[in-house]
Every structure is written in structure tokens, then in C-alpha cells.
Amino acid sequence: MISVQNISKSFGKVTAVDNVSLEAPDGKITALLGANGAGKTTSMRMIYALIKPEGGQVVVDGINTHEDPVAARARMGVLPDARGLYKRLTARENIVYFGRLQGMPEATIKDRCEELVERLGMGSFIDRKTDGFSQGQRVKVAIARALIHDPQNILLDEPTNGLDVMSTRAIRRFLKEQKALGKCILFSSHVMQEVSAVCDEITIIDGGQIVASGSEMQLRDKTGCENLEDAFVSLVGGEKLA
């Protein structure tokens, strides 16, 4: 369960995120939907305690991330925008490295690793060096690495960005399984179909501010639009480029 209250962040004179609040409950998939440069990645980075918000706070399972970032991070599994695998290590070594940094016992790391290999379908490449992996293989390894400690809260920044249909479906299926297990899942995306296909709750961010939130149905009703894409465009103030 993630609760974000009034966080802001500016870089120099540019305000990237302005007074953002949102709730991501357990057992649901919550989306942070926004165009490129809307403040998604900066918001996510503050939520997973990589950078400090200038105001407000983030509470993960009752832990204030600003006061105890180490404990809060142990409750979260994060797939950041930058996947950053180690090319000279095998997929398994990448995953085990993070398991050890999470402080897990060796036996548990081994079991959990096997479980993720099966769930994400990584059997054919788990013991190969990650240099030269396809996008899909890389994302799968990065997700396994982020979730090795079986965290209650799963945060993903653009998880299916650049993936083909098969990989996308595999990731969606995996997220739905996690949701069924009662996990809290928060993911950021700019892809409407993606959000439409998997998310229960949607928060729309634009220009660093939250402009609307609710289920897809609620957002469509509110704007009187047929689909999520039209609703989104209407909520962020029309087609600025046109």
C-alpha cells in the first residue's frame, strides 16, 4: 500500500512535479498515466525514495520513505526507467546480486530465482551473459531482479516500453498473477492500451500536476468520451500540438 501526499520537485527554475498525491491500494493495479515529460519518472523516483521530495511525504506500508529509506526500499520492488543490467554477468548472476543486497539467505535466493525463471519464461537464457539480450529478455531479467525479494509493493516505470506482443502479454499476465496474490502494483505509462488492459485505477498527470483520477469507466463518464485515449486528451486540455 503506497500513499503519496503532496510531493513536489523542481530542478532549477523548472517545476517537474507540483503537489502530487495518489493512493495505490493492495490487490489493485494503479496507473500513473501521462505524456512524455509530464513528470512520471520524477514522481516515481520520489516514490521509491531515490530522490527527496521538496515537500509532502510518501508512506509505504506505514513507513515514511524520507525518514527510513532503507526499510521502505525493502518493502518495494522497483523496475526503474533505466533497466541497467550488468552485461558481463549472466542473467542469474544479475538476479542473485540483488537478492544478496536485499539481505536474503542464499537458499531462499535460489528457490525464488527458480520460481521467477518459470513464471517469466527465462529458462532459455538465464545462464547467458546479458550482453546482446533482446529488449524483452532484458525487461524480464530486470523485473526478476527487482522482485527477487517478493516485495509487497511493485513499482514499474514504463514496463512494456519497446516490447513485442508476446513479451508484453507475458508481463501483463505476470502482473495480474501478482495482483491476485494481493500485491500493490503502481506503474507509470504513456500507452493507453496498456493502461486500459491491466489497470484498475488511473491517475492522470500533466505538467507535473494531477488532473484526474479514478477507474477507466469513471474517467470516461466524467469526460463523456468513448475511450480512454479521448478521455485523456480531453483531460489534459486538448491537443496542444494541433
Partner 1 sequence: MNFRAFKTVFFKEVLENARDKRTVMSSIVMGALFGPILMVIIMNTTINMQQDKAEQKLEVPVINQAGADHLLQFLRSQDVTILDFSDDPKKAINDKDHDVVLTISENFSERFEQGLPAKVKMYHDASAKGAAKVSVQRLRSLLNAYERSISVQRLQLRGVSPGLTNVIMIEEHDQATKESRGAMLLTVLPYFLIMGLFMGSMYLAIDTTAGEKERKSLEPLFLNPVKRDTVLAGKLAATVAFGLLTLVLTLVAFKLTLPWYPFEKLGMRFNMGMPVMLIMLLVLSPLALLAGAIQTIIAAFAQSYREAQTYVGLVLIVPMIPSMLLMFMPIKEQLWMMSIPILGQNLVINNLMRGDAVAWDAIGLAIAGTLIVGLALAWIAVKLYNREKMLFAD
84 binds partner 1 (CB under 8 A): yes
Between helix 135-146 and helix 91-101 the angle, nearest 10°, is: 20
**Between 85 and 231, whose beta carbon lies closer to partner 1?**
85
Site for partner 1 in 92-151 (CB under 8 A): 93, 97-98, 100-103, 142, 145-146
Residue found by looking up cell 498525491 in the block: 21
The alpha carbon dihedral of 171, 141, 80, 85 has a sign of negative
CA 204 to chain CA centroid, nearest Å: 15
76 binds partner 1 (CB under 8 A): yes
Beta carbon of residue 74, minimum distance to partner 1 (angstroms, whole number): 4
Angle at 60 between CA 57 and CA 62, to 5 degrees: 90
Among 12, 13, 70, 226, binds partner 1 (CB under 8 A): 70
**Between 81 and 150, whose beta carbon lies closer to partner 1?**
81
Among 25, 27, 56, 80, binds partner 1 (CB under 8 A): 80
**Between 20 and 44, whose beta carbon lies closer to partner 1?**
44
Query: Among 30-38, 85-93, 202-210, 233-241, which window interacts with partner 1 (CB under 8 A)?
Result: 85-93
Beta carbon of residue 217, minimum distance to partner 1 (angstroms, whole number): 34
Question: Cβ distance 17 to 9 under 8 Å?
Answer: yes
Task: Find all residues with CB under 8 Å of 26, minimum gap 6, and list them.
Answer: 1, 152, 182, 183, 184
Question: Cβ distance 65 to 72 under 8 Å?
Answer: yes
Residue found by looking up cell 486538448 in the block: 238
**Between 24 and 146, whose beta carbon lies closer to partner 1?**
146
Question: Cβ distance 84 to 133 under 8 Å?
Answer: no
- Count the neighbouring beta carbons within 10 Å of the beta carbon of residue 127: 12
181 binds partner 1 (CB under 8 A): no
**Between 148 and 175, whose beta carbon lies closer to partner 1?**
148
**Between 101 and 181, whose beta carbon lies closer to partner 1?**
101
- Count the neighbouring beta carbons within 10 Å of the beta carbon of residue 70: 9
DSSP state of 66: T
Beta carbon of residue 121, minimum distance to partner 1 (angstroms, whole number): 21
Among 85, 91, 184, 186, binds partner 1 (CB under 8 A): 85
Residue found by looking up cell 542473485 in the block: 96
Residues making contact with partner 1 (CB under 8 A): 48, 50-52, 70-71, 73-74, 76, 78, 80-89, 93, 97-98, 100-103, 142, 145-146
